[in-house]
Amino acid sequence: MRKFADRFWDEDWPGASRPSVFYDPRALEAEGPASVLHAKAVVVDDEVVFVTSANLTEAALDRNIEIGLLIRDRAIAVSVSTHFQVLIDRGLLRPLPD
């Protein structure tokens, strides 16, 4: 995970400011489940949420056909934020190292 995180922050992430990024550790297990978290979501101040199928990489954003929704609705943003917080609290998502 350290190698991936270093490459992500150094090569893929465009700015100096780093948001909290989480990953599904089941994706790293050799005998892991057939499916893992694929959704990408960004919640800003529990006011706005962006949910997309796109990986947040240059290749995915420049060459793939993806779709995403930007929603400016506090109730939905809080709901998405709460959902992910429950996954984090249960250890199903872990923070990507800095």
Please give the angle made by the CA atoms of 4, 13 and 7, to the nearest 5 degrees: 25
- Return the structure tokens found at 89: 């609290």
Task: Considering only residues 83 and 20, tell me which one the structure prediction assigns the higher pLDDT.
Answer: 83
> Per residue in 20-62, pLDDT tens?
888 888 877 778 666 666 778 999 999 999 998 887 677 777 8
